Chain A
Amino acid sequence: MDPTVIRTLLGDVLQLTGEHIILVGVSCSVAILIGVSAGILGTRHATVRRLSVTAASVLQTIPSLALFGFLLPIPYIGGIGRHTAMVALVLYSLLPILRNTIVGITSVSPPVREAAIAMGMTDPQILRLVELPLAAPTILAGIRIALVTNIGTAVIAAVIGGGGLGELIFRGVASVNTLEILAGAIPAAGLALLADAGMSLLERKIAPV
Chain B
Amino acid sequence: MKLIMCAGPPTSGKTTVLRQVARRLLKKGRRLAYLKIDVQFADEDELFRNEFAIPARKIYSGDLCPDHASVLVLGDAVKWAEEEGADLIVETAGLCLRCAPYIVGSLGIVVLEATSGMNLPRKIGAMLTLADIAVVTKIDLVSQAEREVFRANIMDATRIEVLEADALRGIGIDRLVRRIERAEDVTMPLMLKGSPPVATCTICVGKKVIGWEHHFGVLRKLDTDLFYRGE
B and A form one assembly: no
Residues of A within 8 A of B (CB): none
Residues of B within 8 A of A (CB): none
